[in-house]
Amino acid sequence: MAEHIVGPVADFPPGTHRVVQVGRIEIGIFNVDGAFHALPNICPHQFGPLCEGTVNGTTACSAVTGWQFAWVRQGEVVTCPWHGIEFDIATGQALASPRLKVRKYTVAVEEGYVKVSVG
């Protein structure tokens, strides 16, 4: 695995994300409440630019919400801008289908810089 510095931590404040170029790969770097995550900027559905989508939450209806629809997981879900498929930023798993998942890249913070391992 090759490590690549993608920028200073200050370029990725909590609650933000941006797409960076690492070699020939575009990777979305997400800061979710101080935890860094990295996903490929490609949706497995039809190869749309996943990480250029919005980061929000999602709706859920379960016993936890009293069987009422509720807005949950704010800031933890990225939505593909092409077809609206939602992905868990921490796991890369699509919320609507267990068959859709994107790879996760390892992210580390060292000496004030965000590094991504690719390979």
* pLDDT single digits (tens) 14-66: 999 999 999 999 999 999 999 999 999 999 999 999 999 999 999 999 998 99
* pLDDT single digits (tens) 63-101: 989 999 999 999 999 999 999 999 999 999 999 999 999
pLDDT at 1 over 90: no
Distances (CA, A) of 41 to 21, 36, 72, 77: 10, 15, 24, 14
pTM over 0.85: yes
Instruction: Using the CB atoms, write b or e for 16-43: b if 16+ within 10 Å.
Output: ebeebebeeebbbbbbbeeebbbbbbbb
Domains along the sequence of the chain with CATH: 2-118 (2.102.10.10)
The backbone region for 45, taken as left when phi is positive above 0, alpha when psi lies in -120 to 50, beta otherwise, is alpha
